[in-house]
Amino acid sequence: MTVTIGIPKGSTPGESRVALVPSIIGKYAALGVELLVEQNAGAAAAFPDELYEGVTFCDSLAGLSQKAQIMLSVQPPNLEEITLLHPGQIVVGYMYPRRNPEYALSMRDHRITTFAMELLPRITRAQSMDALTSQAAVAGYKAVLLAANMIGRFLPMLTTPAGTIRPAKVLIIGAGVAGLQAIATAKRLGAIVEAYDVRKATREQVQSLGARFIGLEVDAESSGGYARELSDEERQQEQAMLADHISQAEIVVTTAAIPGRDAPKLIFREAVERMKPGAVIVDLAASTGGNCELTVPGETIVHRGVQICGPMNIPSMLPVDASELYARNLYNFVVLLVKDGELVIDWEDPIIRDSVLTHNGELHMELSIPSTYEAALKQTLEQGGVK
Ligand code: NAD
């Protein structure tokens, strides 16, 4: 039986990306699968329905959910959307199980097989599927453009008959995928760029982009190339060292993250109060609590003349290319699930094994069950059982 892949429009507020872009349709056709697309699925990403040649359109999510064997999404389906899915159906996309544990639990209880893009192992074979990387690159680039728009001055040096404007100072905290892209973008705009990371290996990468590396003596690299949490003593050294650099910067972009943890706090009130009026902080870690103590997730606030921006979904602000990259990541993952046009899942494959979040009524991750979910579950059971 031909595998059918469904592309929902998605209903998450503020999400403009789409899981299938027209340039990938031919690749799916070559794989021997059928594509079902909900009407207007790509409209917010500037991919109107006319561009999706060779797919079948569905006019409702219910119709799509009924027919598709695999659903490709950007954001996880919400509780209402999950009730439209059927046991054994596969959903591939971001799942944010820590942010939305009730969705993960509901998918477990509806016996949906979910593969979470953020759980993919960072191994060489999975690089073409690595949505964390592709979307972090988008976020790093856009963060600098946001800051450049918010700040009331030039980034490059400008020599004019009226005098010379000195270049802006930009500090990037966290030099992973997003941070390196932010450095490259700020350099292209002509700013003087400094960058800090707790992993020593980033020094060379930062310098190769023409930025100045600032760092402590410690090397906090742990398994898988990620950072570990710092000790209290290391944290104090870090804050003392960073405060001076922060106070000198006109733009600070923070990207520091520790997998599975809240973002480390690196910028405190006192450091913000030492910044110049008109300076800008863009906190890319806002969705995991923020690197700045004053960040309000999803908002831009002004504290003593310093603007602090805490965007929750920055890749969605660049939906065309973010979707192009994300759709390719998904396609490369789907290739693993389809053999000769048939759905075949190799549970021995580490990419499959690591990325599965729910399967056969089981949750493959430890999550604390929120009381709201327990209450909703109790109500469902009282009304005649879990669907
Ligand atoms: P991330 O999003 O988890 O973290 C962003 C950055 O924050 C990291 O560079 C981290 O060192 C830094 N950080 C953490 N705590 C900090 C602190 N207190 N102060 C300053 N910086 C702090 O990381 P990422 O961007 O996803 O990349 C992490 C690693 O994974 C890198 O080594 C990257 O090269 C590697 N990676 C490998 C692959 C692959 O092999 N397929 C793909 C992508 C990334």
Nearest CA to ligand 1 atom 30: 225
Ligand 1 nearest-atom number relative to CA 264: 18
pLDDT for the residue 382:
62
Q: Which atom of ligand 1 is nearest to the CA of 175?
A: 9
How far does the centroid of ligand 1 lie from the alpha carbon of residue 225, in Å? Answer: 7
Answer for the pair 28, 5: CB distance below 8 angstroms, yes or no. Answer: yes
Distance (angstroms) between ligand 1 centre and the Cα of 88 equals 34
Closest of 217, 136, 221 to residue 172, by C-alpha:
136
* Residue 352 Cα to ligand 1 middle (Å): 22
The closest residue, in CA terms, to atom 4 on ligand 1 is: 257
CA–centroid distance, residue 334 to ligand 1 (Å): 26
Which residue is closest in CA terms to ligand 1's atom 38?
A: 122
Q: Among the atoms of ligand 1, which is closest to the Cα of residue 257?
A: 4
Residues paired with residue 372 on neighbouring β-strands, in sequence order: none
pLDDT of residue 370: 67
Q: Residue whose CA is closest, atom 10 of ligand 1?
A: 227
Ligand 1: residue whose CA is nearest its atom 20: 197
- The rounded distance, in Å, linking the Cα atoms of 85 and 68 is 9
Ligand 1 centroid distance, CA of 272 (Å): 24
Nearest Cα to Cα of residue 259 among 101, 132, 353: 132
**Model pLDDT, residue 47:** 98
Instruction: From the CA of 136, give the closest atom in ligand 1.
Output: 25
Give the pTM.
Answer: 0.93
Q: Which atom of ligand 1 is nearest to the CA of 177?
A: 25
Give pLDDT tens digits for 101-123. 999 999 999 999 999 999 999 89
pLDDT at 385: 45
**Residue minimizing CA distance to atom 39 of ligand 1:** 122
Select from 312, 242, 323, 262 the least CA-distant residue to 282.
312
Using the atom order of ligand 1, give the atom closest to the CA of residue 132.
26
Substitution candidate for ligand 1 out of 213, 226, 325 with most atoms within 8 A of CB: 226
Per-residue pLDDT of the chain (387 residues; tens, 9 = 90+): 799 999 999 999 999 999 999 999 999 999 999 999 999 999 999 999 999 999 999 999 999 999 999 999 999 999 999 999 999 999 999 999 988 899 999 999 999 999 999 999 989 999 999 999 999 999 999 999 999 999 999 999 999 999 999 999 999 999 999 999 999 999 999 999 999 999 989 999 999 999 999 987 777 887 777 888 888 888 888 888 899 999 999 999 999 998 878 999 999 999 999 999 999 999 999 999 999 999 999 999 999 999 999 999 999 999 999 999 999 999 999 999 999 889 999 999 999 999 999 999 999 988 776 677 767 666 655 664 443
Q: How far is the CA of 227 from the centre of ligand 1 (A)?
A: 6
What residue spans of 223-297 are helical by DSSP H?
232-248, 269-273
User: In angstroms, what is the span from residue 257 Cα to ligand 1's centroid?
Assistant: 7
Alpha-carbon gap, residue 301 to 318, rounded angstroms: 22
Nearest CA to ligand 1 atom 36: 122
Nearest CA to ligand 1 atom 8: 176
Query: What SS3 state is found at 345?
Result: coil
- Specify the pLDDT at position 386: 41
Rounded distance from Cα 249 to ligand 1 centre (Å): 23
Q: Which residues are near ligand 1 (CB < 6 Å)?
A: 122, 127, 130, 132-133, 136, 173-179, 196-199, 202, 225-227, 230, 255-259, 264, 266
- Lateral strand order in the sheet of 169-173: 212-214, 192-196, 169-173, 251-254, 280-283, 306-309, 300-303
How many angstroms separate the CA atoms of 372 and 375, rounded? 5
Q: Tokens in use for 98?
A: 């820590």
Tell which one of 117, 198, 267 to mutate to probe ligand 1, the residue whose CB is within 8 A of the most ligand atoms.
198
Tell me the residue ranges of DSSP E strands in the chain.
4-7, 34-38, 56-58, 70-72, 90-93, 113-116, 158-160, 163-165, 169-173, 192-196, 212-214, 251-254, 280-283, 300-303, 306-309, 338-339, 342-343, 356-359, 362-363
